[in-house]
Amino acid sequence: MGDILAEAINTADQRIRQFLQQFKDQFGSEAGHVIRVPGRVNLIGEHIDYCGYAVHPMAIEQDILVGVKRCTNGLDLVNQDSSLYKPYKLDSLNNLEISTEKIHWWSYFLCGLKGIYEEMNIENPAGIQVFVAGQIPPSAGLSSSSALVVGAAAAALVSNGKTMDRSELASLCARAERYIGTQGGGMDQAIEILAVEGQAKLIEFNPLKAYDVQLPHGAVFVVANSLQEKNKAASNEFNSRVVECRLAAKILGKRLLQGEDWKDLTKLRDVQIKSGRSLDQMKDEVEKILCKQEYTREDVLKELDISDAYLRKNILTANTGDLNLFKLQQRARHVFSESSRVYQFQQICQQGSGDGSLKALGDLMTASHVSCRDDYECSAPRLDELVESALKLGAYGSRLTGAGWGGCAVSLVPVEKVESFMEGLLNMFYKDVENKQNVAFVTKPGSGLRLWKA
């Protein structure tokens, strides 16, 4: 993809001009650079990136803007919505420490800074004044938190006179977000940095590869907010799914591989590749090997012949150390079936447009939601109700997007039905909501990270 290079800023753009004035009003001087990072919607492929499998997201037009200016030292970070997101200051940017106990909005920004400083061995980083303005709804599953990490990483680069290849930056930002304690897989950061306007992406990991995918004509994607919020970093449900998949990988690997190879494996894809099996064959193995509906902690220790201390130190995370029940069959079944749906989705897109193709894509999306709801248990009552409403209103398919447990659903809607679909959502699903502004919107594939010289 090449290095991230600064472009000339378009001061004719009213939003950019207003943003630059807000920066000047806040700090008394002009911004040096402006960074734009989009949100994202995952079309299909939920909770499988951290298992090593490909995903199918696209960047959306909603974004955050980050204005940056070098200063003597420290950090002066201000959000446009300062009543909700309090300003944050540091006297020095050396040896940044990020708490996983209490997560603030600026915690994500520190992740991006720390990732760059440590990766590039930057000692005594330049001080920065930063102003942030965002259009991405928070806790909606549209990756507003990862956008902050990416924006901060770009700010750290430009303020210290550094640059980096886009693919390398995507991998770095995925690692950096784990400072907050969330064991994500890298989808959000990859699409926010690598996206190309007009194209969705199929993104593979280890190594990171991104393929442009032209979506069929005749339908659009509508993103609708369930208004049921969930912050994945503030609970252990996300990390619980990560460790359940790790445990499933360990047990499957121990049964399917020779010798002690399973001990080094943490991802279900690694087990599949090393055992030489197809996704369908892995689904069969899940039913045969992970045959219990629930595994106790004692079951896991016995299956793997490990101590509780080993389990806690090498497999569980800080906020999942006391888990006692694990649904390994259900989680692994979702991962293998969802990965299969991702490549089916890509193949249908490559075949071209037509009502049959759109219906097939919609069926895959709805099947994905059912799997997320039943096998992965990462949906929520309002999300399920939203998906059902979308299907009743004529969507080809609908599914939760993002980590789940709240947030948004994405629906594939025939172009000719968009107006009636949106009106129906407002009258059916949002009928008791007072402020209906921006609860649902039509979106198309947007561009990734941009850097402008002010």
Among 206-215, 294-303, 351-360, the range scoring the smallest mean pLDDT is 351-360
* Overall average pLDDT of the 84-95 stretch: 96
Would the pLDDT of 216 be above 80? yes
DSSP assignment, residue 308?
H
Cα–Cα distance for residue pair 131/24, rounded to 1 Å? 10
Q: Which position has the token pair 């039943």? A: 374
Spatial neighbors of 379 by CB under 8 A, at least 6 apart, are: 369, 372, 373, 400, 404, 405
Query: Encoding tokens for residue 331?
Result: 């989680």
3-state secondary structure of 88: strand
Average pLDDT score over residue span 214-232: 87
- Judged against a pLDDT cut of 60, whether residue 234 lies above it is answered with no
Give me the pLDDT at residue 232, please. Answer: 57
Q: CA–CA separation, 253 vs 271, rounded Å?
A: 6
Segment 164-181, tens digit of pLDDT: 999 999 999 999 999 998
Q: Which residues contact 362 (CB under 8 A, 6 or more apart)?
A: 395, 396, 397, 398, 412
State residue 235's pLDDT score: 74
DSSP 8-state assignment for residue 409: E
> What 3 state SS string does 135-163 have?
CCCCCCCCCHHHHHHHHHHHHHHHHCCCC
In tens, the pLDDT along 324-380 reads 999 999 999 999 999 999 999 999 999 877 889 999 999 999 999 999 999 999 999
Residue with tokens 């010289």: 453
Q: Which residue has the tokens 């969802």?
A: 338
CA 364 to chain centre: 20
* Cα–Cα distance measured from residue 12 to residue 20, given in angstroms and rounded to the nearest whole number: 12
- Report the distance separating Cα 386 and Cα 400, nearest Å: 9
Amino acid type, 245:
C
pLDDT at res. 176: 96
Mean of pLDDT over the chain: 95
CA 220 to each of CA 210, 216, 245, 255, 429: distance values in angstroms, whole numbers, following the listed order:
22, 9, 33, 45, 20
Residue 4 has pLDDT above 90, yes or no: no
* Percent of the chain's residues with pLDDT above 90: 87
pLDDT of residue 231: 61
The dihedrals phi and psi of 395, each to the nearest 5 degrees, come to -65, 145
Give the tens place of pLDDT for each residue, 365-387.
Answer: 999 999 999 999 999 999 999 99
How confident is the model at residue 165, as a pLDDT?
95
State mean pLDDT over 87-99: 96
What is the pairing mode between strands 88-90 and 408-414? unpaired
Q: Does 305 score more than 70 pLDDT?
A: yes
CA nearest neighbour of 33 among 81, 75, 70: 70
Q: What is the mean pLDDT of residues 255-265?
A: 92
Does residue 183 carry a pLDDT above 90? no
pLDDT of res. 139: 79
User: How buried is 277 (Cβ within 10 angstroms: 0-12 exposed, 13-18 middle, 19+ buried)?
Assistant: middle
* pLDDT confidence band for 264 (50 / 70 / 90): very high
> With 90 as the cut, is the pLDDT of residue 292 above it?
yes
| DSSP output for 54-81 | -BEEEEEEEEEEEEEEEESSSEEEEESS
Bond preceding residue 445 cis, omega within 30 of 0 = no
452 burial level (CB within 10 Å; 0-12, 13-18, 19+): buried
Number of neighbouring beta carbons within 10 Å of residue 235: 12
Rounded to an integer, what distance in angstroms lies between the CA atom of residue 189 and that of residue 178? 12
Q: Where residue 144 falls among pLDDT bands split at 50, 70, 90?
A: very high
Enumerate the active-site residues.
188
Give the percent of the chain with pLDDT over 70.
Answer: 99
Using the predicted structure, report yes or no on whether residue 433 has a pLDDT greater than 80.
Answer: yes
The stretch 214-223 carries a mean pLDDT of 92
| pLDDT in the model for residue 307 | 97
- pLDDT tier, 3 (very low <50, low <70, confident <90, very high otherwise): confident
Mean pLDDT of 307-315: 97
Decide if pLDDT at 453 tops 80.
Answer: yes
